[in-house]
Amino acid sequence: MKVLVIGGGGREHALCEALVRSPRLTRLWCAPGNAGIARVATCLTEVGAEDLGAILAACRTHAIDLVVVGPEAPLVAGLVDRLRAAGIPAFGPTAEAARLEGSKGFMKDLLAEAGVPTAAYGRFTEAATAGAWIKAQGGRPLVVKADGLAAGKGVILCDTEGETLAAIDTMMTNRAFGAAGDAVVVEERLEGEEVSIFALCDGTTAVWMGAAQDHKRVGEGDTGPNTGGMGAYAPAPALTPALRTRVMAEIIQPTVDALAARGTPFTGVLFGGLMIHEGEPRVLEFNVRFGDPECQVLMARLDGDLLALLDAAAHGRLAEVDPPRWRDQTALVVVMAARGYPGAYEKGTAIGGLDAAEAVEGVTVLHAGTRAGPDGAILANGGRVLGITALGDSVTQARDRAHAAIDVLDWPEGFCRRDIGWRAIDRGA
Residue ranges that bind ligand GLY, judged by CB under 6 A: 214, 228-229, 287, 291-292, 294
Give the HSE-up count for residue 147: Cα atoms under 13 Å, Cβ half-sphere.
19
CB-CB contact of 291 with 229 (8 Å): yes
Q: Considering only 63-71, 185-193, 295-303, 371-379, which stretch makes contact with ligand AMP by CB under 6 A?
A: 185-193
CA distance 160 to 141: 6
**155 touches, from ligand AMP, ligand GLY, none (C-beta below 5 to 8 Å by class):** ligand AMP
Residue of minimal Cβ distance to ligand GLY: 229
Residue 155 interacts with ligand AMP (CB under 6 A): yes or no: yes
**Shortest CB 216 distance to ligand AMP, Å:** 6
**229 touches, from ligand AMP, ligand GLY, none (C-beta below 5 to 8 Å by class):** ligand GLY
Residue 117 interacts with ligand AMP (CB under 6 A): yes or no: no
Q: Considering only 152-160, 168-176, 236-244, 404-412, which stretch makes contact with ligand AMP by CB under 6 A?
A: 152-160
Decide whether 10 or 203 has the Cβ nearer to ligand GLY. Answer: 10
**291 touches, from ligand AMP, ligand GLY, none (C-beta below 5 to 8 Å by class):** ligand GLY
CB-CB contact of 295 with 209 (8 Å): no
**Per-residue contact string for residues 3-32; x = within reach of ligand AMP by CB under 6 A:** ------------------------------
Decide whether 72 or 311 has the Cβ nearer to ligand GLY. Answer: 72
Decide whether 231 or 254 has the Cβ nearer to ligand GLY. Answer: 231
> Which residues fall within 8 angstroms of residue 136, CB to CB, at 6 or more apart?
none
Give yes or no for a cis peptide into 342 (omega within 30° of 0).
yes
374-401 in b/e form (b: 16+ CB < 10 A) is: eeeebbbbbbbbbbbbbbbebbbbbbbb
Q: Considering only 150-158, 177-185, 344-352, 381-389, which stretch makes contact with ligand AMP by CB under 6 A?
A: 150-158
Give yes or no for a cis peptide into 235 (omega within 30° of 0).
yes
**189 touches, from ligand AMP, ligand GLY, none (C-beta below 5 to 8 Å by class):** ligand AMP
CA distance 334 to 227: 13
Among 2, 62, 216, 347, binds ligand AMP (CB under 6 A): 216
Q: Are strands 184-188 and 121-124 parallel, antiparallel or unpaired?
A: antiparallel
Decide whether 206 or 212 has the Cβ nearer to ligand GLY. Answer: 212
For residue 157, the surrounding DSSP H or E stretch is strand 155-158
Question: What three-state secondary structure class fits 337?
Answer: strand
**Shortest CB 34 distance to ligand GLY, Å:** 17
Choose among 339, 309, 343: nearest CA to 325. 309
Decide whether 117 or 152 has the Cβ nearer to ligand AMP. Answer: 152
Residue 77 interacts with ligand AMP (CB under 6 A): yes or no: no
CA distance 341 to 196: 23
CA distance 57 to 80: 14
Binding interface with ligand AMP (CB under 6 A): 119, 143, 145, 152, 155, 157, 187, 189-190, 194, 216, 273, 284-285
